[in-house]
Structure 1
Amino acid sequence: MKHLLITLTIAALGLAATPAMAQSAAPAQNDALYQALGAKPGLEALMEVFVAGLKADKRIGEQFKDTKSSYLQEQLVDQFCVVSGGPCKYQGADMKSAHAGMEINKAQFNALVEVLQFAMDARGIPFATQNQLLARLAPMHRDVITAK
């Protein structure tokens, strides 16, 4: 039930996002969320679990089969660091460019969110902190979901 509530929250937040936020997630004004996630070591540990989960998931693992885990983890650490208000610089592609032509549908996007939720649960990240992170990531859905 918790996972369904978070997924519904993400969908609602994404639909309510301003056009400026739809391009990419905006960096936070302070680093409270970054610190709550355990700063860079916490994000690195989270991304290790998350990426392993993505590759193992039967619903979306195929999308990541040719992606080097260490590269994906590094990119995600930097991106989540920026989104959560940390000091990192994300040098990767914007979400629209990175996902263009991949034909990602809502079910696949929701599966990715579920894998992230399971990873956060596995790392013992409190529910309120999970929701804060997911709310900041939610605007990206418009650039990631490219299939109907």
Structure 2
Amino acid sequence: MTGRTIVFIFSILALSACAPTVRAPATLYDQLGGNAGIARLTDAAIDQYAADPRVAPMFDHVDIGRFRRVFAEYICVVSDGPCRYTGASMADAHRGMNLHEGQFNAIVEDLTAAMTSVHVSVPTQNRLIKRLAKVRTDVLYK
């Protein structure tokens, strides 16, 4: 090899070492802050629900500790996290509640306020709400 060839090869190697690393896009789970972020969000949402007279009565006979656990699991699974959801299907969990649009909207408003309070970015909030909205028909008027 000539000196020129060696310089060329080292130049190519040096340039490739400086190239930006392409990373896989962060999952929604990562954007929510992983398990710790989801735990903060879950606690903030429960606080919002408890303070909202439109929502609080729905939790009068609910085991809040269990709800906290399965709600966090559900958010984790919906956001592509490594969790396993152990709760009932959304249809079964809401059967007999007869939730109407106003209550559903209040729950979404409170969840959004909770996400804001724990500093979840608006684009991340929108991603989560979009995924959760898929079960809307499973929970309304059941």
**Among 77, 84, 93, which residue is 2:79 paired with?**
84
**Among 124, 127, 133, which residue is 2:128 paired with?**
133
**Among 32, 38, 58, which residue is 1:37 paired with?**
32
What corresponds to 1:111 in structure 2? 106
Q: CA deviation at 1:31?
A: 6.2
What corresponds to 1:53 in structure 2? 48
Q: CA deviation at 1:60?
A: 1.3
Q: Compared with structure 1, are the counterparts of its residues 84 and 31 closer, same or farther at alpha carbon in structure 2 (3 Å cutoff)?
A: farther
What corresponds to 1:121 in structure 2? 116
Runs of 4+ in structure 1 off by over 4 angstroms are: none
State the Cα deviation string for residues 82-120 of structure 1 (Å, max 9, x = none).
000000000100011111111100000000000000000
- Name the CA distance, whole Å, in 2 between partners of 1:62 and 1:124: 27
Q: Compared with structure 1, are the counterparts of its residues 72 and 31 closer, same or farther at alpha carbon in structure 2 (3 Å cutoff)?
A: farther
State the Cα deviation string for residues 34-81 of structure 1 (Å, max 9, x = none).
000000000001000101111221111100022232211111110000
State the Cα deviation string for residues 117-140 of structure 1 (Å, max 9, x = none).
000000010000000001111111
Paired residues in the alignment total 118
Structure 1, unaligned runs of 5 or more: 1-29
Larger relative contact order (Cα-Cα within 8 Å, sequence gap ≥ 6): 1
- Name the CA distance, whole Å, in 1 between partners of 2:125 and 2:84: 22
Query: Is residue 99 of structure 1 aligned with residue 129 of structure 2?
Result: no
Please give the TM-score of this superposition, normalised by the length of structure 2.
0.79
Please give the TM-score of this superposition, normalised by the length of structure 1.
0.76
Structure number, greater radius of gyration: 2
Q: Is the 8 A contact 1:51 1:72 kept in 2?
A: no
